[in-house]
A and B are shown apart, each in its own frame.
Chain A
Amino acid sequence: MLVAKPGLDGHDRGAKVIARALRDAGMEVVYTGLRQTPEQIVQAAVQEDADVIALSILSGAHNHLFPRVMELLAQKGVNDVLVIGGGVIPEDDIPFLKKAGIAEIFGPGTPTKATIDFIRANLKR
């Protein structure tokens, strides 16, 4: 599991809570910290051989940054990683993000269990 915060916002409460919940669900979680560029996230995912990338963002830059992550993964020929997103993301934007390859978007108030169940059910490898 790679939990990453793209963008410049410093609100990592959600990212940290989900990282901890995933650990308590028995997963190994690499947390990359704040202000990660899509390039850094993809490089980390490759080097860590992540099965899942969980992106958390509250800055509103998701429409720019999420598709960029997918684009870079594709460039590196990585197609077996499950990418999910969370944060303050308007409903209107979700179809666009899903089309870009984000498997699911989890908005505010999503129980961590729902995220964990989704990951378990949708792992690509």
Chain B
Amino acid sequence: MNDSESIRKGFATYTEGVEKSLGKFPERKGKFVTGSNAPVDRLYTPLDLEGRDYLTDQGFPGTYPFTRGVQNTMYRGRFWTMRQYAGFATAEESNKRYKYLLEQGQTGLSVAFDLPTQIGYDSDHALSQGEVGKVGVAIDSLADMEILFDGIPLDKVSTSMTINAPASVLLAMYIAVGEKQGVTPDKLNGTIQNDILKEYVARGTYIFPPAPSMRLITDIFEYCSKEVPNWNTISISGYHIREAGSTAVQEVAFTLADGVAYVEAAVKAGLDVDEFAPRLSFFFNSHNDLFEEVAKFRAARRVWAKIMKDRFGAKNPKSWMLRFHTQTAGSTLTAQQPDNNVVRVTLQALAAVLGGTQSLHTNSKDEALALPTEASVRVALRTQQIIAYESGAAETADPLAGSYYVESLTNRIEDGAWDYIRKIDSLGGAVKAIENGYVQQEIQDAAYTYQMDVESGERIVVGLNKFQIKEAAPEGLLKVDPAVGKMQEKKLADLRGRRDNAAVRTALEGLATAAQGSENLMPRILEAVRQYATLGEICDVLRGVFGEYQQKVVL
């Protein structure tokens, strides 16, 4: 056997030999770094893992600290959920796309809402002009939601909804659609994003200030733990933090720090940690640096397990597990030579699978240019299917474990994440660190460094700053019919004429009173939704009580 002394000797000899030959055969660069600008050594050996213990650091799949995955057989049991984020224009059009995707073998729905919906404005609001149906589907009331899921039995699909500030309202609409289909809330499966903290930092679809927003979130936790037990009540998201330009370490650290804030808020609201923690889920990005990304997912699981066990004293192993959805990195897609994006997405998707993701969205090649067409969405889905059925990556659990490089990276990302989490704790927690702009500043600095590295040519992006070609304008991009806005406006006008406006008023007044007090708002919101109060009306009531968040800009 090799003892560490002989390895050390061998490594010294190796290094000496390399340094001798460097004069003649220099390395390509003076400094090698990961996709997140972290230094990379020439070679990793057992020496890099000295003092580490297999059982404490890695363990086995399905056991603490879950470095090797949250299920004991991983994808030998069942593949990850292939879930393509989709939705545009009207509920009718999106409903057609969902049915198409389900026919193509997709196993879960992921609803994209348009920006007015995400910010709690009806389609006929002045700020909605030009935005209706653009980046997702426009939902103004339960009537639209009924159309969106028409012919899709809610007890047969799991539905992920990318909705944050007005998450309670959309969840209430989903529950109400279920009621109309005869599906009770306990049969509903799915996820709402419901992660307001990263909206303040990176994504921008906030409405209310932090304190009432945290209340809405903990109200959902509490309500669902009783009424909708299979619902994932939050998807704590690093995806957008990374898209905003953070490093891999920052993505893990800021996401988990947000997670800590949510758990603290819920505990403070009197909930038992093991009641709601098993329903927490996460959402990460996957970039091109395959090894660093795999290490990131592994490190994130380990850090979260320690946080839940040690910091919050959770007893249920399900509370320790970090389950996550992954989306490939939109920000790495180039508008130049868009076909190359298929290759990028493949690498990123492979990283997610090797990193043990529970569900995956693969971006389409044309997303740097416009919303994806049906054809490019299909290629993106096929990419996942090829990885699943042909690559062999899914045949064993955590295949990259034991790689000196990957384990070293995992350790380094974990250490970096703890440093940030400690720093954020010292600032008074994630909410405070966001309010004073610390998190935004860190991300912004990383984003700027990246941009400057690309511009100086230090970092190569194929087709963008090297290997460029002259190309014709791409054709066949998806266009959303600008008449969508008008159609939604008309639907709203009809609805307001048709519904029981007195009942709507009563429900909204009840909501306003409840919002001023401290009772759980979910039942009130559900009641307003059933009466066909619009999303904008409900959010306006809450705006009136809670006020609106003012963006903290750090440059």
Q: List A1-30 residues whose CB lies under 8 Å from chain B.
A: 7-13, 16-17, 19-21, 23
Neighbouring B residues of A23 by C-beta, 8 Å: 555
Q: In this assembly, does B551 line the interface, its C-beta being within 8 Å of a C-beta of chain A?
A: yes
Q: With A20-B555, A63-B482 as given contacts, are A92 and B116 in contact (CB-CB < 8 Å)?
A: no
Q: In this assembly, does B230 line the interface, its C-beta being within 8 Å of a C-beta of chain A?
A: no
| Complex CA distance for A34 and B370, rounded to whole angstroms | 21
| Complex CA distance for A92 and B464, rounded to whole angstroms | 20
| Complex CA distance for A125 and B225, rounded to whole angstroms | 63
- B555–A21 CB distance below 8 A: no
Total A residues in contact with B, Cβ cutoff 8 Å: 34
Q: With A11-B243, A59-B135, A60-B135 as given contacts, are A31 and B555 in contact (CB-CB < 8 Å)?
A: yes
- B555–A7 CB distance below 8 A: no
Q: With A7-B131, A13-B243 as given contacts, are A111 and B555 in contact (CB-CB < 8 Å)?
A: no
Q: List B47-102 residues whose CB lies under 8 Å from chain A.
A: none
- B477–A92 CB distance below 8 A: yes
Q: How far is the CB of B398 from chain A (nearest CB, A)?
A: 32
Q: In this assembly, does A109 line the interface, its C-beta being within 8 Å of a C-beta of chain B?
A: yes
Q: List A60-79 residues whose CB lies under 8 Å from chain B.
A: 60-61, 63-65
| Complex CA distance for A22 and B370, rounded to whole angstroms | 27
Per-residue interface assignment for chain B, residues 221 to 250, with 1 indicating a CB less than 8 Å from any chain A CB and 0 otherwise: 000000000000000000000011100000
Q: In this assembly, does B388 line the interface, its C-beta being within 8 Å of a C-beta of chain A?
A: no
Total B residues in contact with A, Cβ cutoff 8 Å: 49
Partner of A8, one of B127, B464, B480, B553: B127
- B199–A10 CB distance below 8 A: yes
Q: With A17-B451, A109-B464 as given contacts, are A11 and B130 in contact (CB-CB < 8 Å)?
A: no
Per-residue interface assignment for chain B, residues 186 to 220, with 1 indicating a CB less than 8 Å from any chain A CB and 0 otherwise: 00000000000001001111100000000000000
Neighbouring B residues of A64 by C-beta, 8 Å: 129-130, 482
Q: List B313-361 residues whose CB lies under 8 Å from chain A.
A: 331, 333-336
| Residue with the greatest number of chain A CB neighbours at <10 A, chosen from B129, B447, B474 | B129
Q: With A13-B245, A31-B555, A33-B553 as given contacts, are A7 and B447 in contact (CB-CB < 8 Å)?
A: no
Closest-by-CB residue of A relative to B199 is: A10
Q: In this assembly, does B134 line the interface, its C-beta being within 8 Å of a C-beta of chain A?
A: yes
Q: List B242-276 residues whose CB lies under 8 Å from chain A.
A: 243-245
| Complex CA distance for A47 and B479, rounded to whole angstroms | 36
| Complex CA distance for A13 and B465, rounded to whole angstroms | 20
- A12–B451 CB distance below 8 A: no
The A interface is mostly helix, strand or loop, or mixed, namely loop
Partner of B555, one of A19, A91, A107: A19
Q: List A96-111 residues whose CB lies under 8 Å from chain B.
A: 107-109, 111
Neighbouring B residues of A11 by C-beta, 8 Å: 203-204, 243-244
Closest-by-CB residue of A relative to B333 is: A108
Q: In this assembly, does A113 line the interface, its C-beta being within 8 Å of a C-beta of chain B?
A: yes
- A109–B335 CB distance below 8 A: yes
Partner of A90, one of B206, B244, B369: B369
Neighbouring B residues of A50 by C-beta, 8 Å: none
Q: How far is the CB of A83 from chain B (nearest CB, A)?
A: 17
| Complex CA distance for A13 and B329, rounded to whole angstroms | 14
Q: In this assembly, does A124 line the interface, its C-beta being within 8 Å of a C-beta of chain B?
A: no
Q: With A8-B119, A88-B368, A107-B335 as given contacts, are A63 and B130 in contact (CB-CB < 8 Å)?
A: yes
Neighbouring A residues of B502 by C-beta, 8 Å: none
- A61–B131 CB distance below 8 A: yes
Q: How far is the CB of B231 from chain A (nearest CB, A)?
A: 25
Q: How far is the CB of A95 from chain B (nearest CB, A)?
A: 10
Q: List B449-477 residues whose CB lies under 8 Å from chain A.
A: 451, 454-455, 461, 464-465, 473-474, 477
Q: In this assembly, does B115 line the interface, its C-beta being within 8 Å of a C-beta of chain A?
A: yes
Closest-by-CB residue of A relative to B334 is: A109
| Complex CA distance for A31 and B440, rounded to whole angstroms | 15
Q: How far is the CB of B477 from chain A (nearest CB, A)?
A: 5
19 inter-chain pairs at a CB distance below 8 angstroms, sorted by A residue, are A17-B447, A34-B204, A34-B551, A35-B119, A35-B204, A60-B131, A61-B129, A61-B131, A61-B134, A88-B368, A88-B370, A90-B370, A90-B479, A91-B473, A108-B334, A109-B334, A109-B335, A109-B368, A109-B464
Chain B interface residues toward A at CB < 8 A: 115-116, 118-119, 121, 126-131, 134-135, 199, 202-206, 243-245, 331, 333-336, 368-371, 444, 447-448, 451, 454-455, 461, 464-465, 473-474, 477, 479-480, 482, 551, 553, 555
Top 9 closest A-B pairs, CB basis?
A: A10-B204, A64-B130, A61-B130, A8-B115, A91-B473, A60-B134, A108-B335, A111-B455, A61-B131
Chain A interface residues toward B at CB < 8 A: 7-13, 16-17, 19-21, 23, 31, 33-35, 37, 59-61, 63-65, 88, 90-92, 107-109, 111-113
Q: 6 new A-B pairs (CB below 8 Å) besides A11-B244, A12-B244, A90-B479?
A: A8-B118, A10-B199, A13-B245, A35-B119, A64-B482, A90-B477
